[in-house]
A and B are shown apart, each in its own frame.
Chain A
């Protein structure tokens, strides 16, 4: 069974900093990896999807990388803003979709 781990569990940074969130998985036989954002009391919003054949995807200030052979993905957030405060979850996709526990990010003004 796929196990997904996210480090750190929580992160607090001042506004403007660049930051990296980490995701690791145990089974490299995946179709894709997806990063989501969840605001308190809300549903999950898709941020980026990386196919297993890709190395990275970019959307605005977000960049996600994937190293399938080592079972790792990172989400890079440039020039963080208070509005980026949320929980970030990675999900590893095969026929199913398994989630890590998330990283709770706080960006202080």
Chain B
């Protein structure tokens, strides 16, 4: 397997625009996590899914953020409208039987909102 794949790797957008980040988990993994990393706050858990169902979205900072997982091989994190304070690195991770096996991370998407 190629690992967790995120796209795009870098995204620069203007304030107010819609941004969509994409993630393909490792095949067979049943948990998917979205994190945001900043210097100030470290790695924050935004939302996680189990078998494509959102389990806990309490980390999503505002209603401007939304995430979907339409099938086992694809998830999106959308920010609409984007703001400069959303600038961060967004990571996706997946695991099989969370807690019993290792979690694997994608390379992240570096988002800059100007």
Contact = CB atoms under 8 A, between A and B. Distances in A.
B108 A94 contact: no
Interface of B: 33, 35, 42-43, 45, 48, 50, 55-56, 91, 93, 95, 98-108
Contact of B42 (A36, A49, A102): A102
A99 B42 CA distance: 8
Instruction: Decide if the interface of chain A is mainly helix, strand, loop or mixed.
Output: strand
Contact of A43 (B50, B98, B105): B105
A76 interface: no
B102 A34 contact: yes
B42 A97 contact: no
Interface of A: 30-32, 34, 36, 42-46, 49, 51, 89, 91, 93-102
Contact of B43 (A45, A51, A99): A99
B103 A43 contact: no
Contacts of A91: 103
A44 B105 contact: yes
B8 to A, nearest CB: 14
Contacts of B93: 44, 97
A96 B45 contact: yes
A46 to B, nearest CB: 5
A93 B91 contact: no
Given A96-B48, A97-B33, A31 B99 contact: yes
A105 to B, nearest CB: 16
Nearest to B104: A46
Contact of A95 (B42, B99, B106, B107): B99
